[in-house]
Amino acid sequence: MKKLILVSLALVLSLHAFSQTEGIGIGAAIGSNIDFTAKMWTGEKTALAAAAGFGWGSYGGLHLSVDFLYHGWSFDVGQDMMKIYFGGGLGIGTYLGSYYYSSNFFMTLRPPVGVGYYFHSMPLELFAEFVPGVDLFGPWGVRFRDVEVVGARWYF
């Protein structure tokens, strides 16, 4: 009986050590944007993620986004773990493009979809995200956009 309790306790503690379902992760992402990013776990499967950075191309400018994420599926990869997530959020920013727009401010509804890879041996998350979105208003009026990034966060 003591062995069963010790094995159960060891299993629970080891799952907790690498599941990254608590704490705050801080890192960076690159792709359609260059972002500083933070993620705060609010539950075992839920988190808030924020990003601030710069984009280029037709959406060039400064931006800030906040997303609520639900991690619906988890897979063991050896001792590591992979989680697939989706959610919803809001982005705001300013377009640094041409001077002939009447307003350079924009607001975007964002439904991010991503995958995170969590290491057993260190508090690190590698992630990839695809974020389609629709600008509610901005220099272009209502317009669809998409953002693709890969990044990493270190948890404290």
Confidence of residue 98 (pLDDT cuts 50, 70, 90): low
CA pair distance 55, 73, nearest whole angstrom: 30
Once rounded to an integer, what is the mean pLDDT over residues 109-121?
A: 96
Residue ranges making up the domain that contains 132: 2-155
- CATH number where 105 lies: 2.40.160.20
CA pair distance 24, 39, nearest whole angstrom: 6
Place of tokens 């400064």: 62
> For position 49, what pLDDT does the model report?
98
CA pair distance 74, 27, nearest whole angstrom: 22
Q: Longest Cα pair distance anywhere in the chain, in angstroms? A: 76
Question: In the chain, how many domains are there?
Answer: 1
H/E stretch holding 142? none
- The structure's pTM equals 0.81
Q: Percent of the chain at pLDDT above 90?
A: 62
Place of tokens 């992402």: 29
Per residue in 23-77, pLDDT (tens digit) is 999 999 999 889 999 999 999 999 999 999 998 755 568 899 999 999 999 999 9
By the 8 A CB rule, do 123 and 141 touch?
no
For the residues of 16-46, what is the DSSP string, one character each? HHHH--SSEEEEEEEESEEEEEEEEE-SSSE
CA pair distance 60, 102, nearest whole angstrom: 16
